[in-house]
Amino acid sequence: MSEGPVRDKIDRILFFGGFDRGYPRNSILRKGLKRSGVEVSECLAGSKRKIITRYPVLTSRYFRIKNKGGVILVPDFRHKDVPLAWILSRLTAKKLVFDPLVSRYETRVLDRGDTDQGSLDSWHNRNIDRVSMRMADLVLADTEAHRRFYSEEFGIDKRKIRTLYIGFDDEEFRSIDLYPVTDRFRILFYGSYLPLHGVDVIVRAAKLLVKSPVSFTLIGSGQTYSVARELARDIPAETLVFREKVSSGKLGGLIAEHHLVLGIFGTTTKVDMVIPNKVFQGMATGRAVITADTPAIGELFTGGTDIFLVPKGDPEKLAESIELLRKNETLRGDIARKGSDLVRSGFNPRQVAMRFLALAADAGIL
Protein backbone atom coordinates (compact mmCIF):
# COMPACT_ATOMS: atom_id res chain seq x y z
CA MET A 1 0.00 0.00 0.00
CA SER A 2 1.37 3.42 -0.90
CA GLU A 3 1.97 6.15 1.66
CA GLY A 4 -0.50 8.64 0.18
CA PRO A 5 -3.78 6.74 0.66
CA VAL A 6 -2.82 5.70 4.18
CA ARG A 7 -1.92 9.21 5.25
CA ASP A 8 -5.13 10.57 3.72
CA LYS A 9 -7.11 8.35 6.08
CA ILE A 10 -5.22 9.03 9.30
CA ASP A 11 -3.40 12.12 10.46
CA ARG A 12 -3.31 11.62 14.24
CA ILE A 13 -3.04 8.74 16.72
CA LEU A 14 -3.57 9.04 20.46
CA PHE A 15 -1.31 6.89 22.66
CA PHE A 16 -3.27 6.11 25.81
CA GLY A 17 -2.56 4.74 29.29
CA GLY A 18 0.14 4.43 31.91
CA PHE A 19 2.85 3.54 29.42
CA ASP A 20 6.59 4.19 29.55
CA ARG A 21 7.52 6.74 26.86
CA GLY A 22 11.05 5.39 26.68
CA TYR A 23 10.25 1.71 26.19
CA PRO A 24 11.59 0.70 22.76
CA ARG A 25 8.39 -0.75 21.28
CA ASN A 26 6.17 2.33 21.59
CA SER A 27 9.08 4.78 21.31
CA ILE A 28 10.04 3.35 17.91
CA LEU A 29 6.44 3.39 16.65
CA ARG A 30 5.79 6.96 17.82
CA LYS A 31 9.01 8.18 16.24
CA GLY A 32 8.23 6.40 12.98
CA LEU A 33 4.67 7.74 12.83
CA LYS A 34 5.92 11.30 13.20
CA ARG A 35 8.43 10.76 10.39
CA SER A 36 5.60 9.41 8.25
CA GLY A 37 3.54 12.56 8.66
CA VAL A 38 1.17 11.27 11.34
CA GLU A 39 0.75 13.47 14.41
CA VAL A 40 1.06 11.64 17.71
CA SER A 41 -0.61 12.85 20.87
CA GLU A 42 -0.66 11.34 24.35
CA CYS A 43 -3.10 10.75 27.15
CA LEU A 44 -0.66 9.59 29.78
CA ALA A 45 -0.81 8.79 33.50
CA GLY A 46 1.95 7.29 35.61
CA SER A 47 2.14 3.50 35.46
CA LYS A 48 2.66 3.31 39.23
CA ARG A 49 -0.79 4.75 39.85
CA LYS A 50 -3.43 2.21 40.83
CA ILE A 51 -6.51 1.95 38.64
CA ILE A 52 -8.61 3.77 41.24
CA THR A 53 -6.54 6.92 40.64
CA ARG A 54 -5.19 6.26 37.13
CA TYR A 55 -8.61 5.90 35.50
CA PRO A 56 -9.95 9.29 36.70
CA VAL A 57 -6.72 11.03 35.64
CA LEU A 58 -6.79 9.44 32.20
CA THR A 59 -10.47 10.23 31.71
CA SER A 60 -10.03 13.85 32.68
CA ARG A 61 -7.00 14.28 30.42
CA TYR A 62 -8.72 12.51 27.54
CA PHE A 63 -11.64 14.92 27.42
CA ARG A 64 -9.31 17.91 27.63
CA ILE A 65 -7.53 16.87 24.41
CA LYS A 66 -9.16 18.83 21.60
CA ASN A 67 -7.92 16.91 18.57
CA LYS A 68 -7.78 13.23 19.46
CA GLY A 69 -7.70 11.83 15.94
CA GLY A 70 -9.60 8.72 14.99
CA VAL A 71 -7.49 6.02 16.68
CA ILE A 72 -6.66 5.28 20.32
CA LEU A 73 -3.61 3.08 20.75
CA VAL A 74 -2.89 1.39 24.09
CA PRO A 75 0.84 0.52 24.10
CA ASP A 76 2.87 -2.34 25.51
CA PHE A 77 2.07 -3.92 28.90
CA ARG A 78 -1.02 -1.74 29.48
CA HIS A 79 -3.66 -4.50 29.48
CA LYS A 80 -5.50 -2.98 32.43
CA ASP A 81 -5.93 0.34 30.62
CA VAL A 82 -7.79 -1.25 27.71
CA PRO A 83 -11.26 -1.36 29.37
CA LEU A 84 -11.20 2.40 30.00
CA ALA A 85 -9.84 3.03 26.50
CA TRP A 86 -12.68 0.88 25.10
CA ILE A 87 -15.34 2.89 26.95
CA LEU A 88 -13.85 6.19 25.79
CA SER A 89 -13.45 4.94 22.22
CA ARG A 90 -17.13 3.99 22.10
CA LEU A 91 -18.27 7.26 23.66
CA THR A 92 -16.28 9.30 21.13
CA ALA A 93 -16.48 7.08 18.02
CA LYS A 94 -12.79 6.11 17.85
CA LYS A 95 -11.11 2.88 16.82
CA LEU A 96 -9.12 1.04 19.48
CA VAL A 97 -5.73 -0.60 18.86
CA PHE A 98 -4.00 -2.66 21.55
CA ASP A 99 -0.28 -3.44 21.29
CA PRO A 100 0.31 -5.73 24.31
CA LEU A 101 3.80 -6.92 23.26
CA VAL A 102 3.44 -9.74 25.80
CA SER A 103 0.73 -11.89 27.30
CA ARG A 104 0.45 -11.53 31.06
CA TYR A 105 -0.41 -15.24 31.36
CA GLU A 106 2.49 -16.29 29.17
CA THR A 107 4.96 -14.03 31.01
CA ARG A 108 3.88 -14.48 34.64
CA VAL A 109 2.76 -18.10 34.57
CA LEU A 110 4.49 -19.92 31.70
CA ASP A 111 7.82 -18.03 31.79
CA ARG A 112 8.41 -16.55 35.23
CA GLY A 113 6.40 -19.16 37.14
CA ASP A 114 4.99 -16.57 39.54
CA THR A 115 2.00 -18.86 40.07
CA ASP A 116 0.95 -22.37 39.14
CA GLN A 117 -1.10 -23.14 36.08
CA GLY A 118 -4.69 -23.72 37.13
CA SER A 119 -4.43 -21.38 40.12
CA LEU A 120 -6.80 -18.47 40.67
CA ASP A 121 -4.01 -16.00 39.86
CA SER A 122 -3.24 -17.90 36.66
CA TRP A 123 -6.92 -17.67 35.64
CA HIS A 124 -6.90 -13.97 36.52
CA ASN A 125 -3.97 -13.22 34.21
CA ARG A 126 -5.45 -15.28 31.36
CA ASN A 127 -8.71 -13.40 31.77
CA ILE A 128 -6.98 -10.00 31.63
CA ASP A 129 -5.32 -11.08 28.37
CA ARG A 130 -8.56 -12.40 26.92
CA VAL A 131 -10.74 -9.42 27.85
CA SER A 132 -8.25 -6.74 26.79
CA MET A 133 -7.59 -8.36 23.41
CA ARG A 134 -11.25 -8.98 22.66
CA MET A 135 -12.12 -5.35 23.37
CA ALA A 136 -9.67 -3.99 20.80
CA ASP A 137 -10.59 -3.43 17.16
CA LEU A 138 -7.04 -4.40 16.26
CA VAL A 139 -4.45 -6.33 18.29
CA LEU A 140 -0.78 -6.10 17.38
CA ALA A 141 1.54 -9.06 17.86
CA ASP A 142 5.32 -8.81 17.69
CA THR A 143 5.71 -12.15 15.87
CA GLU A 144 3.56 -14.59 13.91
CA ALA A 145 4.20 -17.11 16.69
CA HIS A 146 2.62 -14.72 19.18
CA ARG A 147 -0.24 -14.04 16.78
CA ARG A 148 -1.08 -17.75 16.72
CA PHE A 149 -0.73 -17.99 20.50
CA TYR A 150 -3.09 -15.07 21.14
CA SER A 151 -5.69 -16.53 18.83
CA GLU A 152 -5.51 -20.11 20.06
CA GLU A 153 -4.97 -19.45 23.78
CA PHE A 154 -7.45 -16.62 24.29
CA GLY A 155 -9.97 -17.27 21.54
CA ILE A 156 -9.21 -14.04 19.66
CA ASP A 157 -10.31 -13.87 16.03
CA LYS A 158 -7.02 -14.23 14.14
CA ARG A 159 -8.28 -11.82 11.48
CA LYS A 160 -8.06 -8.91 13.91
CA ILE A 161 -4.53 -9.74 15.08
CA ARG A 162 -1.71 -8.43 12.88
CA THR A 163 2.03 -8.86 13.25
CA LEU A 164 4.22 -5.79 13.67
CA TYR A 165 7.87 -6.62 14.28
CA ILE A 166 9.66 -4.56 16.93
CA GLY A 167 12.48 -2.91 14.99
CA PHE A 168 15.09 -0.57 16.44
CA ASP A 169 15.77 3.11 17.06
CA ASP A 170 18.12 4.26 14.32
CA GLU A 171 19.08 7.40 16.23
CA GLU A 172 20.45 5.37 19.13
CA PHE A 173 21.80 2.29 17.36
CA ARG A 174 24.09 3.33 14.51
CA SER A 175 26.12 0.95 12.41
CA ILE A 176 29.75 0.95 13.57
CA ASP A 177 32.29 -1.08 11.60
CA LEU A 178 35.25 -0.52 13.91
CA TYR A 179 35.77 -3.22 16.53
CA PRO A 180 37.38 -2.61 19.93
CA VAL A 181 41.15 -2.97 20.09
CA THR A 182 41.67 -5.47 22.89
CA ASP A 183 43.52 -8.71 23.59
CA ARG A 184 40.26 -10.47 24.46
CA PHE A 185 37.18 -11.29 22.38
CA ARG A 186 34.39 -9.29 24.03
CA ILE A 187 30.86 -10.72 24.31
CA LEU A 188 27.83 -8.76 25.54
CA PHE A 189 24.51 -9.74 27.12
CA TYR A 190 22.04 -7.27 28.59
CA GLY A 191 18.56 -7.85 29.93
CA SER A 192 16.27 -8.24 32.92
CA TYR A 193 17.30 -11.82 33.74
CA LEU A 194 13.93 -13.40 32.96
CA PRO A 195 13.90 -17.20 32.65
CA LEU A 196 13.50 -16.89 28.87
CA HIS A 197 16.88 -15.12 28.71
CA GLY A 198 18.68 -18.25 29.87
CA VAL A 199 21.48 -16.36 31.61
CA ASP A 200 22.45 -19.61 33.34
CA VAL A 201 23.23 -21.03 29.88
CA ILE A 202 25.49 -18.04 29.17
CA VAL A 203 27.33 -18.46 32.48
CA ARG A 204 27.82 -22.19 31.90
CA ALA A 205 29.19 -21.41 28.44
CA ALA A 206 31.60 -18.92 30.01
CA LYS A 207 32.81 -21.66 32.37
CA LEU A 208 33.66 -23.79 29.36
CA LEU A 209 35.69 -20.95 27.87
CA VAL A 210 37.82 -19.89 30.84
CA LYS A 211 41.00 -20.92 28.98
CA SER A 212 39.99 -18.99 25.86
CA PRO A 213 40.79 -15.26 25.43
CA VAL A 214 37.14 -14.23 25.77
CA SER A 215 35.44 -11.76 28.08
CA PHE A 216 31.71 -11.85 28.87
CA THR A 217 29.92 -8.72 30.08
CA LEU A 218 26.49 -9.36 31.62
CA ILE A 219 24.42 -6.25 32.24
CA GLY A 220 21.24 -5.92 34.27
CA SER A 221 19.47 -7.74 37.09
CA GLY A 222 16.21 -9.55 37.76
CA GLN A 223 14.61 -12.85 38.67
CA THR A 224 17.51 -15.20 37.86
CA TYR A 225 20.33 -12.82 38.78
CA SER A 226 21.25 -14.50 42.08
CA VAL A 227 21.35 -17.92 40.41
CA ALA A 228 23.65 -16.55 37.71
CA ARG A 229 25.96 -14.98 40.29
CA GLU A 230 26.20 -18.25 42.20
CA LEU A 231 26.98 -20.20 39.03
CA ALA A 232 29.68 -17.67 38.17
CA ARG A 233 31.33 -17.77 41.57
CA ASP A 234 34.45 -19.60 40.35
CA ILE A 235 34.78 -17.84 36.99
CA PRO A 236 37.68 -15.34 36.92
CA ALA A 237 36.86 -11.66 36.42
CA GLU A 238 38.81 -11.50 33.17
CA THR A 239 36.36 -14.07 31.72
CA LEU A 240 33.05 -12.77 33.10
CA VAL A 241 31.90 -9.56 34.76
CA PHE A 242 28.47 -8.42 35.96
CA ARG A 243 27.46 -4.79 35.55
CA GLU A 244 24.45 -2.79 36.60
CA LYS A 245 21.78 -1.73 34.12
CA VAL A 246 22.88 0.84 31.54
CA SER A 247 20.58 3.66 30.48
CA SER A 248 19.02 3.11 27.06
CA GLY A 249 20.84 6.08 25.53
CA LYS A 250 24.19 4.41 26.19
CA LEU A 251 23.41 0.95 24.83
CA GLY A 252 24.46 1.67 21.26
CA GLY A 253 27.92 2.78 22.32
CA LEU A 254 28.21 -0.17 24.69
CA ILE A 255 27.38 -2.67 21.94
CA ALA A 256 30.07 -1.10 19.75
CA GLU A 257 32.63 -1.85 22.49
CA HIS A 258 32.04 -5.60 22.01
CA HIS A 259 32.61 -8.08 19.20
CA LEU A 260 29.51 -10.21 19.67
CA VAL A 261 25.98 -9.77 21.09
CA LEU A 262 24.02 -12.54 22.81
CA GLY A 263 20.26 -12.96 22.51
CA ILE A 264 18.21 -15.46 24.55
CA PHE A 265 18.86 -19.12 25.39
CA GLY A 266 16.16 -20.24 27.84
CA THR A 267 13.81 -23.20 27.43
CA THR A 268 10.45 -21.76 28.49
CA THR A 269 7.44 -21.55 26.17
CA LYS A 270 7.95 -17.84 25.64
CA VAL A 271 11.39 -18.31 24.08
CA ASP A 272 9.78 -19.74 20.94
CA MET A 273 7.52 -16.72 20.44
CA VAL A 274 9.69 -13.61 20.79
CA ILE A 275 12.38 -11.73 18.91
CA PRO A 276 14.15 -9.72 21.63
CA ASN A 277 14.97 -6.03 21.28
CA LYS A 278 18.65 -6.91 21.65
CA VAL A 279 18.64 -8.94 18.42
CA PHE A 280 17.53 -5.93 16.34
CA GLN A 281 19.77 -3.57 18.32
CA GLY A 282 22.90 -5.71 18.06
CA MET A 283 22.43 -6.20 14.33
CA ALA A 284 21.72 -2.52 13.74
CA THR A 285 24.99 -1.62 15.46
CA GLY A 286 26.89 -3.90 13.08
CA ARG A 287 27.59 -6.78 15.43
CA ALA A 288 27.01 -10.48 14.86
CA VAL A 289 24.28 -11.90 17.11
CA ILE A 290 23.98 -15.40 18.57
CA THR A 291 20.60 -16.53 19.89
CA ALA A 292 18.45 -19.63 20.29
CA ASP A 293 17.04 -21.28 17.18
CA THR A 294 13.29 -20.69 17.53
CA PRO A 295 10.21 -20.38 15.29
CA ALA A 296 9.98 -16.63 15.98
CA ILE A 297 13.59 -15.97 15.01
CA GLY A 298 13.06 -18.03 11.86
CA GLU A 299 10.29 -15.68 10.74
CA LEU A 300 12.84 -13.00 9.84
CA PHE A 301 16.36 -14.36 10.08
CA THR A 302 18.45 -17.15 8.56
CA GLY A 303 20.96 -19.01 10.69
CA GLY A 304 24.53 -18.80 9.40
CA THR A 305 23.60 -15.96 7.04
CA ASP A 306 22.45 -12.93 9.06
CA ILE A 307 22.44 -14.46 12.55
CA PHE A 308 24.09 -17.39 14.33
CA LEU A 309 21.73 -19.90 15.93
CA VAL A 310 22.21 -22.51 18.66
CA PRO A 311 19.82 -24.98 20.34
CA LYS A 312 17.89 -23.69 23.33
CA GLY A 313 19.40 -24.38 26.74
CA ASP A 314 22.68 -25.75 25.38
CA PRO A 315 25.81 -24.12 26.91
CA GLU A 316 28.15 -26.49 25.05
CA LYS A 317 26.83 -25.45 21.64
CA LEU A 318 26.87 -21.80 22.67
CA ALA A 319 30.52 -22.08 23.75
CA GLU A 320 31.42 -23.84 20.48
CA SER A 321 29.67 -21.13 18.44
CA ILE A 322 31.42 -18.34 20.30
CA GLU A 323 34.79 -19.97 19.64
CA LEU A 324 33.95 -20.45 15.97
CA LEU A 325 33.02 -16.78 15.54
CA ARG A 326 36.03 -15.64 17.55
CA LYS A 327 38.41 -17.57 15.31
CA ASN A 328 36.60 -16.96 12.01
CA GLU A 329 36.56 -13.20 11.59
CA THR A 330 35.39 -13.47 7.98
CA LEU A 331 32.28 -15.47 8.91
CA ARG A 332 31.53 -13.16 11.82
CA GLY A 333 31.93 -10.09 9.63
CA ASP A 334 29.66 -11.49 6.91
CA ILE A 335 26.92 -12.31 9.41
CA ALA A 336 27.24 -8.89 11.01
CA ARG A 337 27.00 -7.05 7.68
CA LYS A 338 24.04 -9.04 6.40
CA GLY A 339 22.19 -8.73 9.68
CA SER A 340 22.81 -4.99 9.77
CA ASP A 341 21.66 -4.53 6.18
CA LEU A 342 18.49 -6.50 6.85
CA VAL A 343 17.31 -4.65 9.94
CA ARG A 344 18.47 -1.20 8.90
CA SER A 345 16.62 -1.39 5.60
CA GLY A 346 13.43 -2.99 6.85
CA PHE A 347 12.96 -2.36 10.57
CA ASN A 348 13.89 1.26 11.25
CA PRO A 349 11.20 3.45 12.88
CA ARG A 350 9.74 4.74 9.64
CA GLN A 351 9.47 1.25 8.15
CA VAL A 352 7.78 -0.01 11.34
CA ALA A 353 5.30 2.87 11.24
CA MET A 354 4.49 2.46 7.56
CA ARG A 355 3.92 -1.24 8.11
CA PHE A 356 1.58 -0.43 10.99
CA LEU A 357 -0.42 2.03 8.89
CA ALA A 358 -0.70 -0.47 6.06
CA LEU A 359 -1.86 -3.35 8.22
CA ALA A 360 -4.27 -1.08 10.10
CA ALA A 361 -5.77 0.01 6.80
CA ASP A 362 -5.95 -3.62 5.67
CA ALA A 363 -7.75 -4.48 8.91
CA GLY A 364 -10.30 -1.76 8.16
CA ILE A 365 -9.76 0.45 11.17
CA LEU A 366 -8.53 3.55 9.31
The whole-angstrom separation of Cα 133 and Cα 145 is 16
Nearest CA-CA partner of 289 in 258, 330, 247: 258
Q: What is the pLDDT of residue 3?
A: 43
For the entire predicted model, the pTM comes to 0.94
CA 80 – CA 332 distance, rounded (Å): 44
Using left for φ > 0, alpha for ψ between -120 and 50, and beta otherwise, residue 13 falls in beta
Q: Hey, do 3-167+348-362 and 185-345 end up sharing a CATH topology, with the first three levels equal? A: yes
Cα–Cα distances (Å) from 230 to 34, 199, 233, in that order, read 46, 12, 5
Each domain of the chain, given as residue ranges in start order, spans 3-167+348-362, 185-345
Residue 260's DSSP bridge partners are 187, 288
> How far is the CA of 351 from the CAs of 34, 164, 170, 348, in angstroms?
12, 10, 11, 5
State the pLDDT at residue 48.
Answer: 85
Residue 9's pLDDT is 64
* The one-letter amino acid at 58: L
Fold adopted by 185-345: Rossmann fold (3.40.50)
Nearest Cα to Cα of residue 74 among 140, 125, 6, 127? 140
Q: What's the topology of domain 3-167+348-362?
A: Rossmann fold (3.40.50)
Task: Report the chain (366 residues): mean pLDDT per 10 consecutive residues.
Answer: 49 95 95 96 91 96 94 97 98 97 95 93 96 98 98 96 97 91 95 97 98 98 97 97 89 96 97 97 98 98 98 98 97 97 97 96 85
